[in-house]
Structure 1
């Protein structure tokens, strides 16, 4: 039980010691998806200022922030990240704020999920818009949560 009397919830997505490069080389099936994955690592590392870390078995994340909900549930998550899933990339790069929603208009071909944006390949999206999304999300999380990005 946590301090609110609710059952404590353990976050399944935690930072691991697995190498992101090893994960991509072992888990990503096609050469194109591997190339896109390494491009995302290069871009997200540059934009965030953090090296890639594996979060859970399939998410490549950059930096981290600590969240705490009114329910008492809390944990750590990457600031931005992606998962090269079989069907599509899951991009964890978007905070749905009024300032960010307009960025989706010029983003390219995507589908919106509850917590991520799905894209088939990097060629389908506008990299400049992706950069703006990532930086806006990092700024938002830095303002709203305890954030490792404050150390930079």
Structure 2
């Protein structure tokens, strides 16, 4: 069985964030770092070269595939923020309706402007996702 391509690394999170361009995305990256660390109580870990993750969980799919992944995390991509693990809880859709401008993909919530979303709702979503990550395995 193949391992996940994205694994935890020893890369320094703050060094990574300091290198993010453009400057607005870098600032958003540092804001999310503080927010997710506060909500989760976890120290951040780099997953691969560009994802900042908090906590870890083991999962097993019905197919038998299993592995480890962060409980919640994000990547400050050039055009948007990709947030991981925030949409797996059954109540996530209701919370996302109150978040503000965003889009979703198979496993991510995408935000183009962090200032445009409701930070209290984002905190609620992070907390919900983090606390229930083991239930989503």
TM-score band by shorter chain is over 0.9
Q: TM-score, normalised by structure 2?
A: 0.93
Q: Is 2:23 aligned against 1:45?
A: no
Over residues 87-123 of structure 1, what are the superposed CA-to-partner deviations in whole Å (9 max), with x where a residue is unaligned?
A: 1110114233332211111101111111001111211
Q: Is 2:103 aligned against 1:111?
A: yes
After TM superposition, give the deviation of residue 72 of structure 1 in Å: 2.0
Measure the CA separation in 1 of the matches of 2:84 and 2:41: 16
Q: Where does structure 1 lack aligned partners over 5 or more consecutive residues?
A: 1-7, 146-152
Q: How many residues align?
A: 137
**Partner residue, 1:61:** 53
Q: Where does structure 2 lack aligned partners over 5 or more consecutive residues?
A: none
Measure the CA separation in 2 of the matches of 1:56 and 1:66: 17
**Partner residue, 1:149:** none
Q: Is 2:127 aligned against 1:135?
A: yes
**Partner residue, 2:23:** 31
Q: TM-score, normalised by structure 1?
A: 0.84
Query: Which structure's CA Rg is the greater one?
Result: 1
What is the RMSD computed on CA atoms of the aligned residues?
1.3
